[in-house]
Amino acid sequence: MLKFENVSKRYLETGEVLRDVSFHLRRGELAFLTGHSGAGKSTLLKLIGVMERCSKGQIFLDGENLSHAKEKHIPYLRRKMGFIYQDYKLLQDRTVFDNVALPLVIAGYGHHEITRKVRAVLDKVGLTGKEKKFPLALSGGEQQRVGIARAVVNKPPIIIADEPTGNLDPELSAEIMRLFENYQQVGVTVLIASHDITLITKMNRRVLKLDHGQLVAS
Amino acid sequence: MNKNPNKRRQQTRDIKTPKYAKPAKSENRQNSEAGGGVADKLNAWRDLHAHALFSSLGRLVASPFSSVMTIAVLAIAISLASGFYLVLVNFQQLTNHLETSTQISLFLKEEVSDIRASKLLESIKNNPKVQQATLISKEQALEEFKTYSGFGSAVSALKTNPLPIVIQVLPKNSLTDKNELEALQHEFQQNEGVDQAQLDMQWLARLQSIIAVGERAAGLLNLMLGLAVVFITANTIRLELHSRREEVIIAKLVGATHAFIRRPFLYAGAWIGFISGIVAWFIVTVMMLILRSPVETLSSLYGGHFHLLFFGFVETIKLIALSTALGVIGSWAVLVYQLQRTKPE
């Protein structure tokens, strides 16, 4: 599903951030990406979302080569990935419904199709009845679930979460993790960047560990 | 799937329409797996454009102060440009009118008596190139001058009449060539009673060349003002884009194409240009209304039938279409440049 082949990323200012990283996430696999801050976690995620391009090596998503993707093709690649962020990145002036509907609207779905899909996904993440609320009226855990609903509403084959539980207490974190496990069970590939060691140990899943830009365990 | 779309719509009416809209065009990659028929997607496309159209207007209304400022500046620029155009059109009307009345004025010498003048008139009337000739005596000329010049009382104070006898010659209509007219003028000039033979075409030609200069200058000026409109709109859209930066980035992150992000901003530019065009039309029309009465007084003083021209229907449509187009061009230019630079972090 997601394959890194000898990927390096060098910035002019900070030098090499990722060095010769190779791994392969299979379809329906759930893995953690961990490492100390500055180890290159966020750079690796940016390479997956094609917000940055790698300096060396190649990245494949679902058989497509991200490193050679044309600028015009990037939006369509991003529709195959569900990104989840620590700060949720929700639009504060839109309702929960509108926030979750955004990827569907962008993909050109019709009105009733959007309503059906958004209701179904809000049901699944446990936000039934909150569709008309604004994000600021929700708790942190609920906002993160809106973020997850937006990421999965278009049924992407891969979910990439960047510190999804960073702002949540352990109980809420466990709930969010259960959601990810649900998606993994239906064949979605999930990659979670986190430095919450207790959570990672408890989950007992594959761990990709970065240290100074190099993959030390996978 | 769409057996009963109306019923479905009914059921979903309580849900707010999504704020974003997006056309199906060229983005079928994901759509192929989406449910809903072609009609549903067309509806989606139409809804999204309608939404962009009205939400961009809503945003202008939501910040009335800055919108009014922008539109005022644009409307003044557009009204300057279109006002110049209208003034030129009116001047052209004036020269068209004058062109049909080419005449030669013969100012006779001081010592020429009335009797000699009427003999001269007769000989001129017999000239095959002349259609009509009229004699204006010294007294008639003075009367006319008193009435129309506004110097009536000053003229009355004069002891002797300083005005010469004038013979106004209207050449045959067939005589339109400038050289022929000048030959005729030259012929009259040779007559020893004639002090000066003046072909009115000379000042007409001068007026025409002044208008030609005016046209060129107005063209350049309009070009500059058009560019100003483009830049002002571009800057307004740039500020709008800046204040909605987060929204743009999030849309990019969930796979929005540049075309999708541009749409509401392009509509905003179109609205700004459209409204400015209408306001400019009102400014120019009010200015022409204010000018109308003095212009018509002036025209009647010259015994003319000059009527001030306003914007016609087609010209009004052109004016508004052009300013809308300039608004779109301005927004387009800044969006192409700025969206490349607005990258998610």
Q: Where are the domains of chain B?
A: 49-96+207-341, 104-198
Question: With an 8 Å Cβ cutoff, are A91 and B30 in contact?
Answer: no
Model confidence, pTM? 0.73
Question: With an 8 Å Cβ cutoff, are B246 and A91 in contact?
Answer: yes
**Cα(B119)–Cα(B121) distance, rounded to whole angstroms?**
5
B9 touching chain A per CB within 8 A: yes
Question: With an 8 Å Cβ cutoff, are B12 and A91 in contact?
Answer: no
**Are A7 and A18 spatial neighbours (Cβ–Cβ below 8 Å)?**
yes
Work out the pLDDT band at B13, boundaries 50, 70, 90. Answer: very low
Mean pLDDT in chain A?
A: 91
pLDDT of residue B320: 96
Size of interface A-B (CB pairs under 8 A): 118
Q: How many other CB atoms sit within 10 Å of the CB of residue B145?
A: 16
From chain A residues 92-111, the ones with a CB under 8 A of any chain B CB are 94-95, 97-98, 101-111
pLDDT of residue B304: 67
Question: With an 8 Å Cβ cutoff, are A78 and B251 in contact?
Answer: no
Is residue B345 pLDDT above 70, yes or no?
no
As a residue count, chain A comes to 218
User: What average pLDDT score do residues A54-66 get?
Assistant: 92
Q: Which residue of A has its CA nearest to B27?
A: A107
- Residues of chain B neighbouring A79 (CB-CB closer than 8 A): 29-30, 254-255
The interface predicted TM-score (ipTM) is: 0.90
Mean pLDDT in chain B?
A: 81
- Residues of chain A neighbouring B19 (CB-CB closer than 8 A): 94, 98, 105
Of the candidate ranges A200-204, B44-48, B174-178, B285-289, the one whose mean pLDDT is the lowest: B174-178
pLDDT tens-digit series, residues A69-125: 898 999 999 999 999 998 999 999 999 999 999 999 999 888 888 999 999 999 999
B20 touching chain A per CB within 8 A: yes
pLDDT tens-digit series, residues B160-177: 777 888 888 888 766 666
Question: With an 8 Å Cβ cutoff, are A75 and B343 in contact?
Answer: no
Amino acid occupying residue A18: L
**Are B327 and B271 spatial neighbours (Cβ–Cβ below 8 Å)?**
yes
Question: With an 8 Å Cβ cutoff, are A105 and B343 in contact?
Answer: no
Residue B102: which residues within 8 A CB-CB, separation 6 or more? B171, B176, B181, B199, B200, B201, B204
CA neighbor of A206 nearest in space, from A103, B35, A189: A189
The residues with which A11 forms a beta bridge, in sequence order, are A15
**Are A96 and A146 spatial neighbours (Cβ–Cβ below 8 Å)?**
yes
Amino acid occupying residue B222: N
**pLDDT cut 70: percent of chain A above it:** 100
Question: With an 8 Å Cβ cutoff, are A113 and B40 in contact?
Answer: yes
- Residues of chain A neighbouring B24 (CB-CB closer than 8 A): 108
Quote the crossing angle between the two packed helices A96-107 and B245-253, to the nearest 10°. Answer: 60
Q: Which residue of A has its CA nearest to B261?
A: A106
- Residues of chain B neighbouring A83 (CB-CB closer than 8 A): 253-254
Q: Between B307 and A95, whose confidence is greater?
A: A95
Question: With an 8 Å Cβ cutoff, are A132 and B250 in contact?
Answer: no
The residues with which B198 forms a beta bridge, in sequence order, are B105
**Are B19 and B55 spatial neighbours (Cβ–Cβ below 8 Å)?**
yes
Q: Between A101 and B126, whose confidence is greater?
A: A101
The number of helices, as runs of H, and strands, as runs of E, in chain A is 7, 10
**Cα(A17)–Cα(B141) distance, rounded to whole angstroms?**
98
Measured in angstroms, the CA of A200 and the nearest CA of chain B are apart by: 26
Instruction: Report how far apart, in Å, the C-alpha atoms of B16 and of each of A18, B2, B11, B13, B265 are.
Output: 45, 21, 12, 7, 22
Is residue B17 pLDDT above 60, yes or no?
no
Measured in angstroms, the CA of B271 and the nearest CA of chain A are apart by: 23
**Are B136 and B103 spatial neighbours (Cβ–Cβ below 8 Å)?**
no
From chain A residues 169-208, the ones with a CB under 8 A of any chain B CB are none
- Out of A34-43, A61-70, A108-117, B266-275, the most confident range is B266-275
User: What average pLDDT score do residues A177-196 get?
Assistant: 92
Of B17, B21, B253, the CB nearest to A83: B253
Of A51, A103, A112, the CB nearest to B255: A103
- Residues of chain B neighbouring A114 (CB-CB closer than 8 A): 18
- Residues of chain B neighbouring A90 (CB-CB closer than 8 A): 250
Test mutation, A46, A47, A64, A113, chain B, max B CBs within 10 A: A113
pLDDT of residue A209: 93
The residues with which A21 forms a beta bridge, in sequence order, are A7
pLDDT tens-digit series, residues B228-273: 999 999 999 999 999 999 999 999 999 999 999 999 999 999 999 9
Test mutation, B15, B29, B51, B341, chain A, max A CBs within 10 A: B15
- Residues of chain A neighbouring B260 (CB-CB closer than 8 A): 106
Measured in angstroms, the CA of B68 and the nearest CA of chain A are apart by: 24
Amino acid occupying residue A179: L
pLDDT tens-digit series, residues A143-179: 999 999 999 999 999 999 999 988 788 888 888 899 9
**Cα(B214)–Cα(A26) distance, rounded to whole angstroms?**
75
**Cα(A3)–Cα(A62) distance, rounded to whole angstroms?**
9
pLDDT tens-digit series, residues B70-83: 999 999 999 999 99
**Cα(B45)–Cα(B43) distance, rounded to whole angstroms?**
5
pLDDT of residue B287: 93
Instruction: Report how far apart, in Å, the C-alpha atoms of B150 and of each of B140, B144, B166, B299 are.
Output: 16, 10, 21, 15
Q: Right CATH number for B104-198 from 3.30.70.3040, 3.10.310.30, 3.60.15.10, 2.40.10.10?
A: 3.30.70.3040
**pLDDT cut 70: percent of chain B above it:** 83
Question: H-helix or E-strand containing B130?
Answer: strand B130-136
CA neighbor of A147 nearest in space, from A170, A127, A132: A127
